[in-house]
């Protein structure tokens, strides 16, 4: 039998259900793999060893009793450390939340447990999800399993690396400007940013509330579809969560690309695009054509205005959301402060890292008296223009195909001194959050150095079913997983 840790989530589920393997064996294999490999990758912040084994025993007992332990029974899953876990540390990658123990589970965690999934632990991330390399973590620096000298991307770098290094078959991340899709691309795994409102944000530590969404990483697109099916749907505890019905994403997969029209936005293939990424995405487009798809060039004329708009709106929302870290109710407090104002300032200045402070400053500035119209209001208007671009494109086509990132995984320290360069890592992903539509990053090849490259498929609001069936069909055609493995973590 193939090593257990190499199986897809979908294969694991069917083998557990048929009692070919037990949930306990599966969890043990995961824990052993983490113990053997994670000291080199540093994807996990916390591992729930005893909890996971206890849950696995419950699943095995339920199966031997003949009762249904749920659609994800026995599936090990990693959670980004931005998701609230009752009784278990949740740091959000920040020193300000060191030692913080939430008293409730995020809705997604609750739903996963109810479906029989087994949370294995919490993964590392850029502090408060602000970053594109996981170098902004207040803790360790996660390494890219394909080349340990390179970043895994961010901010959900730990989750992407955990799946890529075969530590877990599936993981959850969150995506505010590309934080699932960019690390998915850099680590060579599929990752989905869901439609705004599709997945409850209750228990997701807030960064930019009008942009944040939770989504899955998997070994394959079908894994992503299975996890999404469980976590999607209305939640009365998140007033922005949508009552739109949840499709049976897995049942839709066999339809492939039937009836779908693909658009290729010319602005996403600029002259400065990394040549190997451009070539890999174009080769994937040829595959689609070969599968009988119709492709047409479309235009999203305001693409160049994405990053300025994103960095105004995201930092403005962040400056407001992060005002709650005041040292009074939870998190780090500077005990030496003699009065309240000093306590706020000292606690925040010591507790937050440099990138978080930089973004709070930028956000406070763009919202401050006299500048609101020049920055915040203007950015909100440009957001309208960006949304119109997509509405227009989706009148002609059902899905859009673009590169996920402008370049492959970069080396540690390469962009840390230049925040603007780091921000440009999100150039193809951030618009999707501003517009609120879903997008899937799919590995589509490797470059000459053997680093994975990703393409992005973008769908209509709540069009996850179309997105995933097209993604799965293209994935089968590309055969990435069978051809390429991260060399750096092979035994």
Partner 1 sequence: MAIEIAEVRHIAKLANLDFSDEEMLVLSRQLNEILGYIEKLDELDIGAIEPTSHVTEVSHAFREDVVVPSIPVSEALANAPESREGHFTVPKVIG
Which positions are catalytic? 80, 155, 179
Contact between 357 and partner 1 by CB under 8 A: the answer reads yes
C-alpha angle with apex 378: 376 to 383, nearest 5 degrees?
95
| CB atoms inside a 10 Å sphere around CB 282 | 16
Contact between 459 and partner 1 by CB under 8 A: the answer reads no
Which H helix or E strand runs over 34? Answer: helix 23-41
Judged by CB under 8 A, which of 379, 439, 440, 465 binds partner 1? Answer: 379
Judged by CB under 8 A, which of 141, 358, 484, 485 binds partner 1? Answer: 358
Judged by CB under 8 A, which of 111, 333, 415, 460 binds partner 1? Answer: 333
Residues 201-240 that bind partner 1 (CB under 8 A): 210, 236, 239-240
Contact between 305 and partner 1 by CB under 8 A: the answer reads yes
- Look up tokens 């673009």; give the residue: 402
How many residues bind partner 1 (CB under 8 A)? The answer is 72
Rg (CA), the chain: 21
Judged by CB under 8 A, which of 25, 267, 364, 414 binds partner 1? Answer: 364
Say how far apart CA 468 and CA 249 lie, in whole Å: 7
Q: Is 477 exposed, middle or buried (0-12, 13-18, 19+ CB in 10 A)?
A: middle
Strand partners, 119: 77
CA-nearest of 326, 311, 328 to 366 is 311
Least distance from C-beta 320 to partner 1, angstroms?
11
Contact between 89 and partner 1 by CB under 8 A: the answer reads no
Contact between 31 and partner 1 by CB under 8 A: the answer reads no
Least distance from C-beta 245 to partner 1, angstroms?
14
Judged by CB under 8 A, which of 381, 396, 411, 483 binds partner 1? Answer: 381
Least distance from C-beta 92 to partner 1, angstroms?
13
Cβ-contact 403, 454 below 8 angstroms: yes
The nearer residue to partner 1, 100 or 412, going by C-beta atoms, is 100
Judged by CB under 8 A, which of 74, 121, 408, 436 binds partner 1? Answer: 436
Contact between 98 and partner 1 by CB under 8 A: the answer reads no
Show the tokens assigned to 329.
Answer: 């109710």
Which H helix or E strand runs over 395? Answer: helix 378-396
Contact between 241 and partner 1 by CB under 8 A: the answer reads yes
Contact between 251 and partner 1 by CB under 8 A: the answer reads no
The nearer residue to partner 1, 289 or 381, going by C-beta atoms, is 381
Least distance from C-beta 45 to partner 1, angstroms?
18
Question: At 58, is the secondary structure helix, strand, or coil?
Answer: helix
Contact between 375 and partner 1 by CB under 8 A: the answer reads yes
Judged by CB under 8 A, which of 308, 414, 481, 485 binds partner 1? Answer: 308
Judged by CB under 8 A, which of 25, 140, 276, 326 binds partner 1? Answer: 326
Least distance from C-beta 100 to partner 1, angstroms?
6
DSSP string, 148-188: TTB---SSSHHHHHHHHTTS-SEEEEEESSSTTHHHHHHHT
Show the tokens assigned to 309.
Answer: 């708009």
CA-nearest of 181, 426, 211 to 308 is 426
Say how far apart CA 163 and CA 2 lie, in whole Å: 17
Note the maximum CA span of the chain.
71
Least distance from C-beta 191 to partner 1, angstroms?
21
Contact between 95 and partner 1 by CB under 8 A: the answer reads no
Say how far apart CA 381 and CA 114 lie, in whole Å: 42
Region binding partner 1 by CB under 8 A among candidate stretches 64-72, 170-178, 351-359, 469-477: 351-359
Contact between 327 and partner 1 by CB under 8 A: the answer reads yes
Q: Per-residue b/e over 291-303, b at no fewer than 16 CB within 10 Å?
A: eebeeeebebebb
Residues 409-428 that bind partner 1 (CB under 8 A): 419-420, 423
Region binding partner 1 by CB under 8 A among candidate stretches 7-15, 162-170, 319-327, 438-446: 319-327
Judged by CB under 8 A, which of 73, 79, 435, 455 binds partner 1? Answer: 435
Say which DSSP state 334 is in. -
Residues 142-201 that bind partner 1 (CB under 8 A): 196-197
C-alpha distance across the termini of the chain, in Å: 18
Region binding partner 1 by CB under 8 A among candidate stretches 52-60, 246-254, 260-268, 367-375: 367-375
C-alpha angle with apex 191: 187 to 195, nearest 5 degrees?
150
């Amino acid at each position: 039998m193939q090593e257990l840790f190499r199986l897809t989530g979908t294969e694991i589920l069917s083998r557990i259900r048929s009692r070919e393997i037990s949930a306990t064996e599966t969890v043990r294999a995961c824990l052993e793999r983490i113990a053997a490999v994670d000291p080199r990758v540093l994807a996990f912040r916390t591992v729930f060893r005893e909890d996971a084994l206890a849950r696995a025993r419950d699943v095995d007992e339920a199966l031997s009793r003949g009762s249904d332990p749920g659609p994800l029974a026995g599936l090990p899953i990693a959670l980004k450390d931005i998701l609230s876990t009752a009784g278990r540390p949740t740091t959000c990658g920040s020193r300000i939340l060191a030692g913080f123990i939430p008293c409730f589970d995020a809705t997604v965690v609750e739903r996963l447990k109810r479906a029989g999934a087994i949370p294995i632990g919490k993964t590392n991330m850029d502090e408060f999800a602000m970053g594109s390399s996981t170098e902004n973590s207040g803790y360790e620096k996660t390494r890219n399993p394909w080349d340990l000298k390179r970043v895994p991307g961010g901010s959900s770098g730990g989750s992407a690396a955990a799946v890529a290094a075969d530590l877990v078959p599936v993981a959850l991340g969150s995506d505010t400007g590309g934080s699932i899709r960019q690390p998915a691309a850099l680590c060579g795994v599929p990752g989905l940013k869901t439609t705004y409102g599709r997945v409850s944000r209750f228990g997701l530590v807030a960064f930019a509330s009008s942009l944040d969404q939770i989504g899955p990483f998997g070994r394959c697109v079908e894994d992503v579809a299975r996890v999404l099916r469980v976590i999607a749907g209305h939640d009365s505890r998140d007033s922005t969560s949508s009552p739109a019905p949840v499709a049976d994403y897995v049942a839709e997969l066999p339809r492939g690309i039937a009836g779908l029209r693909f658009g290729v936005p010319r602005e996403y293939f600029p002259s400065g695009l990394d040549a190997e990424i451009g070539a890999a995405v174009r080769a994937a487009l040829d595959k689609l054509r070969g599968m009988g798809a119709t492709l047409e060039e479309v235009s999203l004329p305001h693409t160049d205005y994405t990053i300025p708009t994103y960095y105004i709106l995201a930092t403005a929302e962040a400056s407001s959301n992060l005002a709650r870290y005041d040292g009074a109710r939870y998190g780090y407090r500077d005990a030496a402060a003699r009065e309240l104002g000093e306590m706020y300032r000292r606690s925040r200045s010591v507790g937050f890292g440099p990138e978080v402070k930089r973004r709070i400053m930028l956000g406070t500035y763009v919202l401050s008296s006299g500048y609101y119209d020049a920055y915040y209001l203007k950015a909100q208007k440009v957001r309208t223009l960006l949304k119109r671009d997509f509405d227009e494109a989706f009148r002609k086509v059902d899905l859009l195909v673009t590169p996920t990132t402008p370049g492959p995984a970069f080396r540690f320290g390469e962009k840390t001194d230049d925040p603007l360069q780091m921000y440009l890592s999100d150039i193809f992903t951030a618009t999707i959050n501003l517009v609120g539509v879903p997008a899937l990053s799919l590995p589509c090849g490797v470059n000459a150095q053997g680093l994975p490259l990703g393409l992005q498929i973008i769908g209509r609001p709540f069009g996850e079913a179309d997105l995933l069936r097209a993604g799965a069909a293209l994935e089968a055609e590309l055969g990435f997983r069978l051809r390429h493995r991260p060399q750096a973590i092979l035994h």
